[in-house]
Amino acid sequence: MESIIEEAVKELYEEREKRIQDAINLKVPDRVPVVCKGINWYFKTVPGVTARDMVTNNEKFMKVMIKFMLDFQPDAAWRPIPQDPLASVLVEPTPMVFPTEEDESWEPKIISKETMKVEDYNHIIKYGYVSLLMKYLPELRPDIPDPQKKLLDKLGLSGKPEEKPLPFKENVELLKKAGFPTYFLFELLSPFNCLTLLRTYPKMCLDLKRHPDLVKQAIDKMIPEMLSLTIRFSKECNVPRICIGLHRESATFFSPKIFDEVFFPEIKQIVELCRREGVTAILHCDGNWNPLLERLAELPKGTCVIQLDMDTDPFKAKEILGGKQCIDAGPMELEMATWTPEEIENYCKKLIEVVGDGGGFILKSEVSAEAKPENIRAFINAAKTYGIY
Amino acid sequence: MVGYNCGEWASLSDSELYKALVELDEEKVLSLVKRRLEKGEDPYQILEECRRAMTTVGEKFEKGEYFLNDLVIAGEIFKMVSELLKPKLEEGRGKREIGTMVIGTVQGDIHDLGKNIAKILLEAAGFRVYDLGVDVPPDAFVQAVKQYNPDIVGMSCLLTSAWKSIKKTVERLKEENLRDKVKIVLGGAMVNERVAEMVGADAWTNDAKKGVDICKKFVGAD
């Protein structure tokens, strides 16, 4: 009898994976796939789990993750790995405040600090980004002794590990056993964003005015270095998608001229490298991308997912990117915390009808600890009620 | 507040320094300021020319001619000029202000970019701004309102988890009988009308330019 359950779970896993891949490949799936970044409040429903556990205790993190997936039934898991205080430096190279045992929610907060100096651009160009990161690691994670050695341990890259490597593959397998694919395992900030965090935004504004070529050369050096490791890990875990955070590249922060000269070449290189390696880049387009959608439409057809944040109009995105790239959009933190379930349902219904028309659409939400659980249910149900093709 | 006579410094907007700052020419601005200080020129005239230039930069940003990076560069150059002038300035003299504000990112939140942008624009618009920084506890806002007697309190928030801090701050201002003496404006990506209503604020914005207009309206300078 147990094999019946196993078979059913396997079928569900395959259906869900196909649904997502069909949307990414601009085909019409059986229904609109739905994904949700939403467990940063859910730990409170699991006895004995604290906010601190959610970044330090993989077993408890996965218990919360699996319960969330079974409870809400989205189509795939969103980055099923704890935001480890040390390994997170690869994602966000800046000092951070992590939750304590007493915190009611877990939202690691980044501290704006100028860590990297102008002369370090040459360091990156000559010795690479990892070398720079290792140099500043004690400053970026001051509470962790011997962080360089520990980071290599956590990534499973040191010869004699003293710390347990992060269980990337195990977590993906566990979700698979429960019937859920992983939407993406790694969420990496783009090289330009990493540089901006290391320099701070005001300093980066000056750098791009004073030494644009240094910034560009550093980015060119960082792209293959940063992506190769992430792609390797993703492929080892059989997750053919990685998420790349494009935050400061948006029109919110820099002029279109700088976008054309610096950011668009960066994005094109990232997408192309991922395509060559057989993984899809989910471009997390934070901020306002409305004026830049035409540029994104120039990327080779069906090579990436354009994941929109709250400041970009998904309907305008459909007009411009429809049939060219898969769009990933939906209600965000503010809506999920302040709207009623009816408002969420109506908004998702409209998104499904318009942006989901003809496929190439993934309904998503990113929720904070203040999200109303009834809104998350309304959001997921909307895909299942109105999203059938 | 010290008054400002527009005729006092003629043709400010034609000066080389004004033009250099509007064009974001950092090198030229700094060399002009140094040269003029060496010649013994009035530091207040230099400061006023730069303030005028910052207002023009702010206007260009509002019109969409300049982008956020341009605004931030102008702010950074202005900061460098202020450092050069600081030793020669007497506190408070020569300022023309339309109102006073206390701003800060509320407790539990450490984002500072939006707040800093708002500060540049508010100062360019003529507000005296007291910036309390990030992760500001309710009582620190209360203390600042008592100390600086502002027209407006601006609270920045980029996390929904920080809503409770805003609410607490508003409650503390009420308890101290200060709430009716100030207008409260919320700013940041995680606020909207419902949040403003829930915490008891007077206005909200997620756009620094609109935020300045709201504040100008509150002090009757629109």
- Across the interface, whether the CB atoms of A201 and B109 are under 8 A apart is answered no
Structure confidence at residue A310 (pLDDT): 87
- Across the interface, whether the CB atoms of A255 and B73 are under 8 A apart is answered no
Query: Domains, chain A, ranges and CATH?
Result: 2-386 (3.20.20.210)
Considering the domain boundaries, does residue B137 fall inside one?
yes
HSE-up (13 A, CA, CB side) for residue A118: 12
Task: Indicate if the pLDDT at residue A243 is higher than 90.
Answer: yes
H or E element, residue A329? strand A326-329
Same-domain status, B34 and B105:
no
Neighbours of B3 (CB within 10 A): 8
Same-domain status, B58 and B103:
no
ipTM value for the complex: 0.90
The DSSP bridge pattern shows strands A109-110 and A96-97 to be antiparallel
Final residue in a domain of this structure, among B61, B88, B115: B88
Q: How far apart are CA B41 and CA A306, in angstroms?
A: 55
Considering the domain boundaries, does residue B109 fall inside one?
yes
- Across the interface, whether the CB atoms of B160 and A369 are under 8 A apart is answered yes
Neighbours of A333 (CB within 10 A): 23
Chain A / chain B CB contacts < 8 angstroms? 67
Structure confidence at residue B4 (pLDDT): 36
Distances (CA, A) of A150 to A136, A169, A230, A265: 14, 19, 18, 34
Same-domain status, B64 and B106:
no
B5 dihedral zone (left: phi>0; alpha: psi -120 to 50; beta): beta
Query: Which chain B residue lies closest to A105 (C-alpha atoms)?
Result: B161
Q: How far apart are CA A23 and CA A363, in angstroms?
A: 10
Q: How far apart are CA B222 and CA A324, in angstroms?
A: 46
Q: How far is B78 from chain A (nearest CA, A)?
A: 13
Q: CATH number for the domain including B109?
A: 3.40.50.280
Structure confidence at residue A1 (pLDDT): 76
**Confidence band (pLDDT; 50, 70, 90) for A237?**
very high
Total domains in the fold of chain B: 2
Any CB–CB contact under 8 A between A340 and chain B?
Answer: no
Distances (CA, A) of A359 to A27, A32, A47, A120, A289: 6, 7, 40, 45, 21
Same-domain status, B62 and B140:
no
Same-domain status, B132 and B74:
no
For A121-175, how does the pLDDT look when each residue is reduced to its tens digit (9 = 90+)? Answer: 999 999 999 999 999 999 999 999 999 999 998 888 887 888 888 899 999 999 9
Q: How far apart are CA A31 and CA B118, in angstroms?
A: 44
Q: Residue ranges of the alpha helices (H) in A322-364?
A: 333-338, 341-354
Q: How far apart are CA A139 and CA B146, in angstroms?
A: 38
Same-domain status, B208 and B131:
yes
Structure confidence at residue A104 (pLDDT): 77
Q: Considering only CB atoms, which chain A residues are within 8 Å of B195?
A: 334, 338
Spatial CA neighbour of A380 closest among A77, A72, A16:
A72
Q: Considering only CB atoms, which chain A residues are within 8 Å of B133?
A: none
For A40-69, how does the pLDDT look when each residue is reduced to its tens digit (9 = 90+)? Answer: 778 888 999 999 999 999 999 999 999 999
Task: Indicate if the pLDDT at residue A38 is higher than 80.
Answer: no
φ and ψ at A188, to 5 degrees? -115, 135
Same-domain status, B72 and B138:
no
- Across the interface, whether the CB atoms of B116 and A202 are under 8 A apart is answered yes
Spatial CA neighbour of A324 closest among A286, A364, A296, A285:
A296
Same-domain status, B187 and B115:
yes
Residue A76: DSSP 8-state = B
- Across the interface, whether the CB atoms of A112 and B113 are under 8 A apart is answered yes
- Across the interface, whether the CB atoms of A208 and B69 are under 8 A apart is answered yes
**Confidence band (pLDDT; 50, 70, 90) for A9?**
very high
Structure confidence at residue B9 (pLDDT): 46
Q: Considering only CB atoms, which chain A residues are within 8 Å of B159?
A: 107, 109, 368
Structure confidence at residue B94 (pLDDT): 53
- Across the interface, whether the CB atoms of A205 and B192 are under 8 A apart is answered no
Beta bridge partners, A34, equal: A363
Task: Tell me if A36 sits within 8 A of A333, measured CB to CB.
Answer: no
For A328-381, how does the pLDDT look when each residue is reduced to its tens digit (9 = 90+)? Answer: 999 999 999 999 999 999 999 999 999 999 999 999 998 888 888 999 999 999
- Across the interface, whether the CB atoms of B189 and A369 are under 8 A apart is answered no
Q: What is the mean pLDDT of residues A251-275?
A: 96
- Across the interface, whether the CB atoms of B159 and A209 are under 8 A apart is answered no
- Across the interface, whether the CB atoms of A110 and B110 are under 8 A apart is answered yes
Task: Tell me if B201 sits within 8 A of B106, measured CB to CB.
Answer: no
Structure confidence at residue A331 (pLDDT): 96
- Across the interface, whether the CB atoms of A104 and B161 are under 8 A apart is answered yes
Q: How far is B151 from chain A (nearest CA, A)?
A: 28
Query: Which chain B residue lies closest to A106 (C-alpha atoms)?
Result: B161
Structure confidence at residue B209 (pLDDT): 83
Q: Considering only CB atoms, which chain B residues are within 8 Å of A344?
A: none
Spatial CA neighbour of B196 closest among B158, B173, B166, B161:
B166
Considering the domain boundaries, does residue B4 fall inside one?
no
Final residue in a domain of this structure, among B88, B123, B144: B88
Structure confidence at residue B6 (pLDDT): 39
For A210-220, how does the pLDDT look when each residue is reduced to its tens digit (9 = 90+)? Answer: 999 999 999 99
Q: Considering only CB atoms, which chain B residues are within 8 Å of A252?
A: 68
pTM (predicted TM-score): 0.91
Any CB–CB contact under 8 A between A102 and chain B?
Answer: no
- Residue of A370, A372, A376 to mutate for B, most B C-beta atoms under 10 A: A370
- Across the interface, whether the CB atoms of B24 and A109 are under 8 A apart is answered no
- Residue of B158, B160, B197 to mutate for A, most A C-beta atoms under 10 A: B160
For residue B110, give its domain range: 99-218
**Rounded to the nearest 5 degrees, what angle is found at the Cα of B177, between the Cα atoms of B172 and B182?**
85
The number of residues in chain A equals 389
Q: Which two tokens stand for residue A75?
A: 């189509």
Considering the domain boundaries, does residue B2 fall inside one?
no
Q: How far apart are CA A338 and CA A354, in angstroms?
A: 24
Q: CATH number for the domain including B49?
A: 1.10.1240.10
Residue B181: DSSP 8-state = G
Structure confidence at residue B3 (pLDDT): 33
- Amino acid at site B137: P
Considering the domain boundaries, does residue B1 fall inside one?
no
Query: Which chain A residue lies closest to B193 (C-alpha atoms)?
Result: A338
Considering the domain boundaries, does residue B125 fall inside one?
yes
Final residue in a domain of this structure, among B88, B109, B131: B88
Same-domain status, B186 and B79:
no
Q: How far apart are CA A190 and CA A20, in angstroms?
A: 23
- Across the interface, whether the CB atoms of A201 and B24 are under 8 A apart is answered no
Per-residue pLDDT in tens (0 to 9) along chain B, 222 residues: 233 333 444 455 679 999 999 999 999 999 999 999 999 998 888 988 998 898 899 889 888 899 999 999 999 999 899 889 888 876 555 556 899 999 999 998 888 888 988 998 898 888 999 999 998 999 999 999 999 999 999 999 888 888 999 999 999 999 999 999 999 999 998 899 999 999 999 999 988 888 999 999 999 988
Any CB–CB contact under 8 A between A208 and chain B?
Answer: yes
Considering the domain boundaries, does residue B36 fall inside one?
yes
Q: Residue ranges of the alpha helices (H) in B98-190?
A: 113-125, 138-148, 163-175
- Terminal CA-to-CA distance of chain A, rounded, Å? 33
Same-domain status, B83 and B105:
no
Same-domain status, B121 and B189:
yes
Structure confidence at residue B221 (pLDDT): 87
Distance of CA B165 to the CA centre of its chain: 22
Distance of CA A245 to the CA centre of its chain: 6
Q: Which two tokens stand for residue B112?
A: 């500072």
Same-domain status, B114 and B171:
yes
Task: For chain A, give the mean pLDDT.
Answer: 94
Q: Considering only CB atoms, which chain B residues are within 8 Å of A251?
A: 67
Considering the domain boundaries, does residue B7 fall inside one?
no
